[in-house]
Each structure stands twice: as C-alpha cells, then as structure tokens.
Structure 1
Amino acid sequence: MRIPRRLIPRRLILAAAVTAIAMRRKFIPPYDLTGKSVLITGGSRGLGLALAAEFLKRGATLTLMARDPAELERAAQRLGGGRRVQTVAGDVTREDDQRRALAEVTRLHGGLDVLVNNAGLIQSGPLANMTEADFRRSMEVNAFAPLLLTRLAVPELRRRGGRVLLVSSVGGKVAVPHLAPYSVSKFALTGIGQALRAELAGEGIGVTTVCPTVMRTGSPRQAEVKGQARKEYALFATVDNFPLISLDAREAARRMVDALVRGDAEAMVGGSAALLRYAQALAPQLTADLLALGTRLLPAPTQSDEAVLGKEAETPLTRRNPIKSKAERELNELGGKDGGEAS
C-alpha cells in the first residue's frame, strides 16, 4: 500500500537524507591527491594561488595557467618552484590557448588528473551602468571558458578517472545587487556544474561545484568598477575583507579541496554563503524584498558606463585596511611591487 506523502514525517525524510550522506562518505573512499597532476586556471594570484598551495600540500603536482607570465613566475617562486610547479601563459577564453595548456600538462606531468576552473571576471556597479558587452564578457570568462576547457579535457580525465572543480559563488545561488553580470554568469556556471556532474559520472569523472562566500583574496583591486567608482570600490573592498562576513582565502581553499576529495556534487563554502542560500530557499519572497531594500542604500548610477580597475579607485580608507593589504601581499595581487612571501 502506498503511503500518502503528507503522512511521511518531515523528520524522517531529513533523517534519511542525513543517513544517506553519512553512508556515502563512509563507503566511498576519498580521492587521493598524492602524485596527481592538477591544472589550475587563474592560478597566479588570489584564490587560485591559495588553491595551488593547498593542492601542493596534499602531494599533487601543479600546472598554473594565467595570462601574465611575470605573475606566473612570481607565483611559482612563492610556491617553492621545482618540478612540482609548472606554469603556462594563456587566455582561458581562447580555445587554442586551452588546447596548448592541456598539451603542456601532458608533456610536463604525463597527463591530467584534476582540472580546477578558477579563473574569473568580476564587475561591480549599478545595473544601469552595465552594458550588454559586460554581461557577454562575464559569460565568456566565467561560464563558457570552464565549459569548453572541461569538454576538451574529458578524454584525458576519462582515461585517468579524474576530477573537475568548478569555482562558482554564492552569487551563483542568490543574485547579489551591483554584481549583475557576475551573478548571471555564476548562475550559469552552477548549472553547468550540475549538468556535467550528471553526464560525466558514467565516464568515471567526478565534478564538484563550490559556491564560496566573499573571501579575503586581495582581488578587489583587479575588479572592474562602474558608477561612482570610489564609493563602489570602498564598499566592495570593505565587505570583501570584513572578518565576520568574509572567509580567509586559505581556509576557503582547504574547504574547496576537501569537497573535491569527498566527491561532493556541490558545496557552499562559508557560513554567510550557506545562510543566504537557505534563506533564499526557505523564504524567497522575504529574501528578495530584503535585497531590494538593501539596494536602495548602495551608490546611485552615473551618466558614464566607463569602468576602472579597483586599484585605480583606491581611497585612504581602503588603502589603509590592514586585512586587505595583508591578503594583497600574500596572494600576489600587487605585481612586482611587494617583497612579501606567501605563508
């Protein structure tokens, strides 16, 4: 006899779900990264560099991909150099560069076991100052580039029973005001991750999508800022480096790699990310109303749609932020001007 769904206690459903997760983690062995070959896009600074350090700590060999050869060289030096850390310069939005990077990984390390799609573009400012081109560029970098690179890597990942890590965002679960192109592209990436997970499982390839909260990566200075640039940047950089909201980049990297090793389909990284996601799921109308209300407190649009880099919109307030400055120094965000070492 079929039991009506309304008669099944919700606690029983929750208990069954928790038990299933626990059993899965008990009987499926963790993915051993020792000796594994890992390609990290956007690996020269910020979160990419923190992820590189975490994979290196777990015994992997690395190939870092980014556009700037000088940044890549500094990143390799910070990680200790040697044969376990190699670099390849290239643009993730160019298919020929992607193919060359994959060929280099095979040449340098004999093949590819883990692909980390981390490279990303972020634009901050009012929707009124965002153009169609802004949305298209975000989609190219944050969604289509990871999709294409993953598909190109499938034959090698299939051969080695590999893994894919997609770095999305809490902004890929809840649209964040003044980050419209970024959120749109990260929503797309989260969906790509779900599709890849389902379709590549039968080929022995595991796909994990991580959705982190704001992190102390030092990267706001590389963001594109529109509207009242100084106010936008001051707000963005302050929230990004506020301890009660943001997460240390190294801790975020550790949790992301943990999720990959466990074989999680999706992981929210950081308490504020999980809180916002569950608020959206449980009370979507209230969450939408609160976000709309909060948007009224943000800087108003301007007549110009011109963008500037965050580092060009620094103010004494942001320049003197010690947490922000520390992250910039340690995660290679200052170019060749700093002498600090990553710890």
Structure 2
Amino acid sequence: MAQRDFSGRVVAVTGAAGGLGRALVAAFARRGASVAALDVDAAGLERLAAEHGASGLLTRVCDLTREDDCRDAVAAVVARFGGLDVLVNNAGISHRSLLRTTRAEVIRRVMQVNFFGAVNATHAALDAIVARRGAVVAISSVAGFSPLAARAGYSASKHALHGYFDTLRAELDGTGVGVLVVCPSFIRTGIEQAHLGADGAAAQGPRTVVGAALEPDAVAERIVRALESGQSLLTVGRVAWLAWWVSRVAPGLYARIMLRQFRAEMGAGG
C-alpha cells in the first residue's frame, strides 16, 4: 500500500457515533481530511456534529444492512465532497452467550451488521475509491484470528472479514488501492457493555478484559498512521500479539483462559 497524506482527502467512517468511530473521525479531521460520519444512530450523529461544529463534517444516518442505504450514502458523500478516498468499515455489534444456548437469529444478526454491513459499504464505495487510488479499512479484532468464548457469532463475523478483505487486496493489486485490516485487542468502548444476549434481546453487563483496555483515541491514531505508512495488517495491543501466538502454539491453554474469562464475566453479572 502506498504512503498517504490525508490533507484534502475524503474519508467515510461507518459506526462513527461509537467510541472508536468518534475517535477516527477526530483523527482524520485533525489531518485535514473531509470526513463523512455514517451510523444508524441518529442521536449519536447529532452529538458528533455538535462536537465538530462548523468543521464541515458530513453526518448521515445509514443502515449498513441495506444495500440501497449504502449506495445512497456514498452518492451523498461524492456529491458533497467531489469524491471518496478512504472507507473505514468500523461499525459492529457483539453478543455474549454460549453457542449451544444462542438462537441462530443472533448469529445471523451479528453477521449482517459486522460482515455484510462492511460488504455492502465496500461494494457501494469501491468504484469511487479505485478512481482516486484510495484505501479501504476493515476493523477486525483479536476474534478475527483466534476464537473468543461466548462470542461465536462475533468471532465468525471477524474471521469472515479477513477472508473477504485479504482477497479484495489481492484482486486490487496494481491498482494503487490499499486494503488495511486492523486487529485490536480490547478497546474501552460500549460495544460489549451493550450486547445481544442468547435470545437476541439487548443486554447490559460488565466484562472482564485481559490486560489493560485500549483507549479509542490511541487506537485511532495507530490506524491512521498505519494508513499513512502503507500497512496492510495492523495488530494493536500486546494482548493481541499474545493471543495470536498462544492460540496457535498452545490452543488448549488458550481455550482454558477464554473459558475462565467467560466464567468471571458471568460471576460479575455479565
């Protein structure tokens, strides 16, 4: 991936009203980019717009599970800014429940948002990005390369992102378009404090984390710097690196650590 300067570039961020999304919007704006913030959360977008004042931020409500919403959102970005250089697929939801007790509709819902939402947005934006030799970013997770107890649907959705975007990178070789996949460890956001339960209903509860939770602003800066330097894979956090190696070298140990973590969460009322 070629090195990039974001001054004067156009960047669209999905899931922009959430913790990491808000941090990404701010990080790109600080570098002089024109930013489009996309999210299904209208109230969250209003708060984000108020934070950025007269900065020129474009906010748009967009349901990523709808292909027509994604096409309309990209058309609005191009109409406003004259093109699109970078798409950051950041939107996501989670669930927390053992697979044997989880309804299939919960797994389906997580896949629809986390995987097919990214597919829909990327398909809608790709021609515009190729035209400007831009970049596509997929926010994956530790769960994209290692299993994660009580989050089978979430892990499956993140594994799917790797297969899709690694293949897209290969197909775009020689076009000047970059594809970056990001695998952070635990981030201090609301994605798991408000998660789906086994029956698909929204649930609230604390979670335990391995190691210190990463701050959204710090993760966002790492992502933007990775784009600037032309990386294709970014693993963020010491825990992510440990998970990569332990899950491969000692998978039995990794499984026991995960189950111990899940039991701790349940004991905490998660």
Asked if Structure 1 and Structure 2 have the same fold, meaning a TM-score greater than 0.5 normalized by the shorter chain, the answer is: yes
Q: Which runs of 5+ in 2 are unaligned?
A: none
Counterpart in the other structure of 1:291: 258
2: distance between equivalents of 1:135 and 1:260? 31
1:102 pairs with one of 33, 52, 74: 74
Counterpart in the other structure of 1:54: 27
CA 1:134–1:67 in structure 2 vs 1: closer, same or farther (change >3 Å)? same
Letter in 2 for 1:258: R
Question: What percent of counterpart residues are identical?
Answer: 38
C-alpha displacement of 1:298 = 5.5
Superposition pairs of residues 37-48 of structure 1, within 5 angstroms? 37-48=10-21
Superposition pairs of residues 278-317 of structure 1, within 5 angstroms? 278-292=245-259, 295=262, 299=266
C-alpha displacement of 1:122 = 0.7
Query: Does 2:178 match 1:206?
Result: yes
CA 1:128–1:99 in structure 2 vs 1: closer, same or farther (change >3 Å)? same
Larger Rg: 1
Q: Deviations over 1:235-271 (max 9, x none)?
A: x2x53xx8x4210110011111111222211111111
Letter in 1 for 2:22: L
Q: Is the 8 A contact 2:194 2:205 kept in 1?
A: no
Corresponding residue SS for 1:123: coil
1: distance between equivalents of 2:140 and 2:265? 24
Corresponding residue SS for 2:93: coil
Query: Does 2:204 match 1:225?
Result: no
Query: Does 2:122 match 1:150?
Result: yes
Q: Deviations over 1:188-247 (max 9, x none)?
A: 1122121111111232210000011111124434322348x9x9822x2x53xx8x4210
CA 1:135–1:29 in structure 2 vs 1: closer, same or farther (change >3 Å)? closer
C-alpha displacement of 1:292 = 4.7
2: distance between equivalents of 1:29 and 1:182? 31
Counterpart in the other structure of 1:23: none
Counterpart in the other structure of 1:64: 37
Corresponding residue SS for 1:299: helix
Counterpart in the other structure of 2:148: 176
Higher-helix-fraction structure: 1
CA 1:207–1:129 in structure 2 vs 1: closer, same or farther (change >3 Å)? same
Corresponding residue SS for 2:112: helix
Q: Deviations over 1:265-284 (max 9, x none)?
A: 11111111111112223333
1:245 pairs with one of 205, 212, 216: 212
Q: Is the 8 A contact 2:4 2:230 kept in 1?
A: yes
Q: Which runs of 5+ in 1 are unaligned?
A: 1-27, 301-313, 319-343
Letter in 2 for 1:122: S
2: distance between equivalents of 1:142 and 1:160? 26
Counterpart in the other structure of 1:254: 221
1:74 pairs with one of 34, 47, 66: 47
Q: Is the 8 A contact 2:92 2:191 kept in 1?
A: no
Q: Deviations over 1:320-340 (max 9, x none)?
A: xxxxxxxxxxxxxxxxxxxxx
1:122 pairs with one of 86, 89, 94: 94
Q: Deviations over 1:32-77 (max 9, x none)?
A: 1111100111111211001111111111110111113222121011
Q: Normalising by the residue count of structure 1, what TM-score does the alignment of the two structures yield? A: 0.72
Corresponding residue SS for 2:59: strand
Corresponding residue SS for 2:32: coil
2: distance between equivalents of 1:133 and 1:183? 15
Q: Is the 8 A contact 1:72 1:87 kept in 2?
A: yes
What do you get for the CA RMSD once the two structures are aligned? 2.6
- Pairs aligned (count): 269
1: distance between equivalents of 2:76 and 2:60? 7
Counterpart in the other structure of 1:269: 236
Counterpart in the other structure of 1:323: none
Counterpart in the other structure of 1:34: 7
Q: Is the 8 A contact 1:134 1:181 kept in 2?
A: yes
Counterpart in the other structure of 1:136: 108
C-alpha displacement of 1:296 = 5.6
2: distance between equivalents of 1:265 and 1:33? 17
Q: Is the 8 A contact 1:207 1:263 kept in 2?
A: no
2: distance between equivalents of 1:293 and 1:119? 28
Letter in 2 for 1:65: L
CA 1:127–1:286 in structure 2 vs 1: closer, same or farther (change >3 Å)? same
Query: Does 2:131 match 1:164?
Result: no
Letter in 2 for 1:31: R
